[in-house]
Structure 1
């Protein structure tokens, strides 16, 4: 990979890693599902005019939107509102790689390689250690909700894989159409109209700045750069950089929020990332392979949440 592209890949990891802290800083006083509805309304209103609709059936776009957008981020936002620290959230969501392999094996009949099986075992062990080593400061329900977000993301990955949609920005923008109305309806149902009204009144500068970052920085700029990198470089050269996302997420949460990970979280997180590395074929993948040339998870082109 040329030096310029390597710097761009590092920038994407930085944008996506900091995104978790940005969400956490902006959500105070705003119900999480209302905050999610505002974010995707902004994404759609800004980008749908100049990002072409992916050439796939509408039911595939709706399926990706329901799981990769509404499900993943809905669970993530509710998890963070329930006490999931942003740094740990950036790490636990990487379980989507392990879950994608398992779901693709069952639904798409994609036989996992020995490396992917080993990665699933390592990643599962890492998640178990994270759960046990929470240090008592992370509610178990919040951790479970974050894992549900990873599961929803994995299901969305498999739907996107089956749809064979080219690129990711178009699918990200157009599948975002699915999010605002259901997210707002769920906010009204779960939090109640009074809480939603108070959330709208509390939507101040912090929430606006957070939304601007998640929409412009993490989604439009992040995905735009990422798709350009995939167009110019093998996926096996781009994917390893995305493993920096939880590292940036943990460091930024440590610096900004004072979120110091426990030894158990660090040990389990390291094992989880090791499982992702092994499962995605970063270490043993064929050099120079172009995107979409294998049936394993390394060809799924799954960027982290934006």
Structure 2
């Protein structure tokens, strides 16, 4: 599954370039709404082809909660926060999700918060400060900037809660069905917000705008979320979520390669720290798996 994790991080990391470039053509929240509607449309076609039925009555509430939490709430907050705080701080706070997930997982899905995980998270988050070139003193503790930071942080918590629901309640559900319907529900929420608060902002349709929608909707939404929910369902959620810290690394490298953004030594040092944190938790998991295998072999 390591290759799927790397593929996912490459897709979501490069999508940072796409989302930045798309702001020249779309209102921010409207772009997210169109992106997820397009992704859901592709998934609807696949569901129709695979003859996947409609969700059961009792499943709709969970699909709606996940869609509204991880799509509507997170993307609306992050887009609006960018008006008051830097993109780097927004990304840093958003990617505290693995911390919240690890804490919730300890209590709700029996994934123990071990010393190794705590150290790996600490190293990786410190690495994020370096990758995104953030001085901790930049985190303002008063005024509208503080409110924006707290809202983005609440989005990270909402994302973690949604992942806990997927892991605990929806782990056995059809991934195509779940991804499709939570995505369209989340997109409806984004569209509703955009129609209310982005009035007067126009869309500039062009070939580039269509390419951005196709990549961000088809690949970074439809394909990527299928991969993510598959990884979340098949392995340990904490390990998978910590691996997502590769996303901002790929985002920074993509900005350097494709947008001509500056890559400083501090970012390179931060990348090494994040890789160390991810490697630490993955090596520990592999060691546990190998030990269990040897014990079972001896018992047999």
TM-score by length of 2: 0.70
Partner of 2:214: 212
User: For residues 193 and 104 of structure 2, what CA distance do their matches in structure 1 show?
Assistant: 27
Partner of 2:283: 283
TM-superposed CA distance for 1:65, in Å, is 0.7
- Go from structure 1 to structure 2 and tell me whether the alpha carbon gap of 1:179 and 1:256 turns closer, same or farther (over 3 Å shift): same
TM-superposed CA distance for 1:208, in Å, is 2.1
TM-superposed CA distance for 1:175, in Å, is 0.4
- Go from structure 1 to structure 2 and tell me whether the alpha carbon gap of 1:234 and 1:63 turns closer, same or farther (over 3 Å shift): closer
Partner of 2:10: 14
| Secondary structure, counterpart of 1:283 in structure 2 | helix
Structure 1, unaligned stretches of length 5 or more?
Answer: 291-306
- Go from structure 1 to structure 2 and tell me whether the alpha carbon gap of 1:54 and 1:162 turns closer, same or farther (over 3 Å shift): farther
Indicate yes or no: 2:160 matched with 1:154.
yes
Match of 2:188 among 160, 181, 194: 181
TM-superposed CA distance for 1:10, in Å, is 4.2
User: For residues 91 and 134 of structure 2, what CA distance do their matches in structure 1 show?
Assistant: 18
CA contact (8 A) 1:36 1:73 kept: yes
Partner of 1:118: 119
Post-superposition CA distance 1:196-229 (Å, at most 9, x none)? xx323x2433332211101222233445566778
Within-5 A mapping of 1:1-306: 6=3, 10-51=6-47, 52=52, 57-80=59-82, 84-85=86-87, 93-105=94-106, 111-123=112-124, 133=135, 146-166=152-172, 168-191=175-198, 193=199, 195=200, 198-200=201-203, 202-223=204-225, 239=240, 244-260=246-262, 271=273, 274-275=276-277, 278=280, 281-287=281-287, 289=289
User: For residues 70 and 76 of structure 2, what CA distance do their matches in structure 1 show?
Assistant: 10
CA contact (8 A) 1:133 1:265 kept: no
Post-superposition CA distance 1:209-265 (Å, at most 9, x none)? 21110122223344556677899x9769x9587554332211111122233356666
TM-superposed CA distance for 1:128, in Å, is 6.8
RMSD, aligned CA: 4.2
Partner of 1:293: none
Q: Which has the larger radius of gyration?
A: 2
TM-superposed CA distance for 1:42, in Å, is 1.2
User: For residues 88 and 128 of structure 1, what CA distance do their matches in structure 2 show?
Assistant: 9
| Secondary structure, counterpart of 2:283 in structure 1 | coil
TM-score by length of 1: 0.69
- Go from structure 1 to structure 2 and tell me whether the alpha carbon gap of 1:128 and 1:151 turns closer, same or farther (over 3 Å shift): farther
| Secondary structure, counterpart of 2:282 in structure 1 | coil
